[in-house]
Each structure stands twice: as structure tokens, then as C-alpha cells.
Amino acid sequence: MGDDIQSIVSASRRIAAPAAAVFELLATPRRHLEMDGSGMLRGSDSPTVTAVGDVFVMNMFFAPLGGAYQMVNHVVEFEPGRRIAWEPENGPGHPEVGAPNARWGHRWVFDLVPEGPATTLVTETWDGSRIPAEEAEDGRQWIPSMQATLQRLEEVLTARK
């Protein structure tokens, strides 16, 4: 991988909400649309995530990939109130569904650090370090979306007080 590519990037935000409330939203795929900063999510009918090994499907839209498609997300880390991570796999409608690289191994990770009973430092990370070198992409492209997601997450959680 070249020096010009960042394979791991993250963004953080201090949110005035308990870690349990933040985690509950993150573990509920049906609510991800509320916090989406990418503009690509279109919703989910998947049940709440409860453990590593769970899978949830997200409806997506991205014109360069032909419009509507799904991502099948495999939960790979699950620590209630602390950390949740998933690895996306190209799903129905994606131009590379079923291809050998349909699941590259990149991860979306949310780390939660409680700072007292009502404040949480939330860090979202895009980890592309497991992507094969020939498919590598620069994670910096995701930073604006991650920052927007964290801002929306804060707005959703603090509006419910």
C-alpha cells in the first residue's frame, strides 16, 4: 500500500448522552438512517444487533454503483456500552455481489468512552487495513461523512432529553 493512502481513519465527538443510549442507537439498524452522515443509507428492516455474528442488511443508494443496492453487515465486535463493529459485504443490487471481493474485510467501528454518567466520547473509525492491496482505498474520503454522522448522532440523542 502506498504512502499516499490512509487505511485507518477516525473522527471523534463528545456527546451529552450516556454510553448505553449511544450504544442502543448504534445497535439498532432501523435507526441508522437517523444518524447517517453519508447520504447513502436508505433504511433497514433488520432487528437489533445483540452479539458478534449477527448480520444486518442496510438499504443503500449510490449513483456510481448503479443506484439502489444492499450491504450485508457482519457484526465482528460487540461490547455493550463500549464498542460495536461490522464488516460490510456487497449485497443484492450491488454490481459486485457474489464477487470474490464482496467482503473485503474493512470495518466500521464505534468506540464509546463514558465521561461521567451523561457524556460519552464517541469515535467512529473506518478500518481498511484488511483490504487486499490491489483493492486499497484511501479512508480519508470517509472523514466528512463520519464527522456528519457523529453530529447527527448527537442531535438525535440530545433532542430526546
What is the pLDDT at residue 135? 77
d(CA 134, CA 136): 6
Element (H, E) at 113: strand 107-114
What is the pLDDT at residue 103? 80
* Total Cβ atoms within 10 A of residue 101: 13
- Averaged over successive runs of 10 residues, the pLDDT of the chain (161 residues) comes to 78 98 98 95 97 97 89 97 96 82 86 96 95 82 96 91 47
What is the pLDDT at residue 160? 53
d(CA 64, CA 68): 10
What is the pLDDT at residue 121? 98
CB of 9 within 8 A of CB of 124? no
**3-class DSSP state for residue 59?**
strand
The residue extents of the domains of the chain are 8-159
Tell me the Cα Rg of the chain.
15
What the block records as the C-alpha cell of 49 is 444487533
What is the pLDDT at residue 3? 59
Q: Does domain 8-159 have CATH number 3.30.530.20?
A: yes
End-to-end Cα distance, the chain? 45
Q: What is the pTM of this model?
A: 0.92
